[in-house]
Amino acid sequence: MYRRVLLGAGLALATAVAVPVLSASPAGAVAGRNLPPNGKVLFLAGQTTPDLTAYKTQVLDTDASFPRPGGVTLYTNISPNACNGLTATCNLNGNIFNFDQTLAEYPGASLAVGLYLADNPGCYNQPLRAIIGRQDADIAGAVGQQYRQNLDNLITYLRNTGRPVYLRVGYEFDGPWNCYNADFYKQAFRVVKQRIDALGATNVATVWQSASYAKDGDPAYGFDFSNPNHLDAWYPGDDVVDWVAMSTFYWDATYRQYQWACDTPTSSPRVLYDRVLNFARGHNKPAMIAEATPQAYRTANLDASCTNVNNRVSLNGDWTRIGSWYDQYFAYVTANTDVLRAAAYINSNWEAIAQFACPPGASAGQPGCSDGYWGNSRIQDNANVRAAFKRELQNSSFVNGTLVGRGANWGGGTPPTSNPPTSNPPSSPPPTGGGGNRNAFATIEAESWNSQSGTQRVTTTTASGGAEVGYTNNGDWVRFDGVTFAGRTPNQVVFRYSSGRPTSQSFTLEFHAGSATGPVIAAPGLLGTGDWRTYREIAFNVSNLPAGTTSITAVIRAGDSADVLDFDWFKFV
């Protein structure tokens, strides 16, 4: 909470830097405190007490078959002169918290806590400096002691809940709006971990959460998301971090259409998300989506806006244009369960919270619109969203889920473009598709598809077998039938591609079981290779492959209408 408050001087832009896509590690490789058992993903609902009360009464209490969340998210602080919401109701600029009430309404649920450690207003890092124990004039004596006592009081409260707790220490540490100093932040994080251990709070896991924001701030202060080594400068150390986390408010296939139509990002969101997951894999840590919501959409009104200007436009009654956001969110979770073991969703009517109010026509930072435009993300306000959301949570990959695969129909989201390609070599006639069985663990040439939409066969000496699939645009797909796994479960899908897009530009190649609307089993985020004859070979984790799968469909996803990639071959390992 207390999010997106712009503090201090204006923030400079930086040029995007390409980030390599890394292969996923084998399933089960991560370890950490409060890791859900049996490879499950913990779903967390949030994020204020009224939000969670409404979710209980309007969703869970009206449908006994709706999966209960494995956890809930709330927010607090340790400032000497602010309420904290632990044992009594606390109203912070319209954000209302009462931990005791929410825990009573969700018996047995885990608890994720956003611990706010920024100054408000200002960029003085007073809470961080106080936790560290510095004797600066503004925190010497009673003030600093009160901060540290409040931290102990919080940890003691969390210990006594008896619940698994995920403490997001100074969440969104690299968000320019928080104005954290990287060195102070890392030192304070270590002190928080030391106090958790000293107070015997073995049920409390520490969470290190990046903002994963698509626009750089001042790189001199470490707010340079486009720097491929960005996370290293903020990491407190393997010995004190239990979980790695991120915020995911935007998805590449749609974010430029509405949410970022009024601004210029410096990084692809998907590149940033993949970087966090790969960082977690590299450090053997479980990862969490700690904050997620379709910002600037309204589920009840079916409209959308830019995030930094309230310029709402109607979606003409087409709920699938919101559904596309959810489709990408759940596809990403299910494709990365080797490391992504918890995922939160903010089920909130932001317009009803004073901090997030933004009248029509207002811009972020103007009076009455301090945090930009947020909309309404309550699933109960749209029957289609609610039904599909339920089916996603019924997926057995989630805690409290019992059904196989995703199974939700989000309506296809944004329709594929029909714009003609502008590049790629000339094509030859398309194949008719091979019959018989294909060995899933042997190379399958992409041009041997059985059915397709929007693509063409391209002949070139640089491709395996002398041909590949080209002329691909957003939403195009190729399907391969007769794929035989012979009872063996693959860990990864390996494939070869090229792309004339710049090496800083991202897109996604989704692998579906069955048809193009079947369960997503892998959805690697990719980058351009700079030339159609420059290839890259990628390995990416596979998850939730339904038993009996005999068809695999590869679907191209991009946020624009330009040519995307040439697809050479794939296989499972």
Q: 507 has which bridge partners?
A: 526
Q: How does pLDDT run along the chain (573 residues), one tens digit per residue?
A: 334 332 222 222 232 323 323 333 344 468 999 999 999 999 999 999 999 999 999 999 999 999 999 999 999 999 998 999 999 999 999 999 999 999 999 999 999 999 999 986 789 999 999 999 999 999 999 999 999 999 999 999 999 999 999 999 999 999 999 999 999 999 999 999 999 999 999 999 999 999 999 999 999 899 999 999 999 999 999 999 999 999 999 999 889 999 999 999 999 999 999 999 999 999 999 999 999 999 999 999 999 999 999 999 999 999 999 999 999 999 999 999 999 999 999 999 999 999 999 999 999 989 899 899 999 999 999 999 999 999 999 999 999 999 999 989 898 543 333 333 333 333 333 444 454 589 999 999 999 999 999 998 888 888 998 899 999 999 999 999 999 998 888 988 999 999 999 888 888 999 999 999 999 999 888 889 988 989 998 888 888 899 888 999 999 999 888 899 999 999 998
Q: How is 267-286 classified by DSSP, letter by letter?
A: S-HHHHHHHHHHHHHHTT--
Give CA–CA dist 190/242, Å, rounded: 12
Q: 283 has which bridge partners?
A: none
Give CA–CA dist 538/528, Å, rounded: 13
Check residue 540 and give its pLDDT: 86
421-452 burial: b if 16+ Cβ within 10 Å, else e: beebbebeeeeeeeeeebebbebbbbbbbbeb
Contact 457, 447 (CB under 8 A): yes
What is the dihedral sign for C-alpha 70, 72, 73, 78?
negative
Q: Which residues contact 372 (CB under 8 A, 6 or more apart)?
A: 4, 307, 308, 309, 358, 363, 364
Check residue 28 and give its pLDDT: 47
Give CA–CA dist 272/214, Å, rounded: 8
For the beta carbon of residue 322, count every other beta carbon within 10 angstroms: 27
Check residue 412 and give its pLDDT: 55
139-173 burial: b if 16+ Cβ within 10 Å, else e: beeeebebbbebbeebbebbbebebbbbbbbbbbb
Task: Report which residue type is found at 201.
Answer: A
Report the chain's terminal Cα–Cα distance, integer Å. 42
Give CA–CA dist 327/65, Å, rounded: 21
9-25 burial: b if 16+ Cβ within 10 Å, else e: eebeebebbbbebbebb
Token code pair at residue 485: 């796994």
Q: Which residues contact 67 (CB under 8 A, 6 or more apart)?
A: 43, 390, 393, 394, 398, 400, 401
For the beta carbon of residue 30, count every other beta carbon within 10 angstroms: 20
Q: How is 413-470 classified by DSSP, letter by letter?
A: SSPPP-PPPS-S--EEPPP----S-EETTS-EEGGG-SEEES-EEEE-TTSGGGEEEE
What is the dihedral sign for C-alpha 383, 52, 211, 39?
negative
Domains, the chain, ordered by start: 37-393 (3.20.20.80), 427-572 (2.60.120.260)
Check residue 431 and give its pLDDT: 41
The verdict on pTM exceeding 0.85 is no
Token code pair at residue 11: 């923030």
Contact 48, 348 (CB under 8 A): yes
Check residue 29 and give its pLDDT: 66
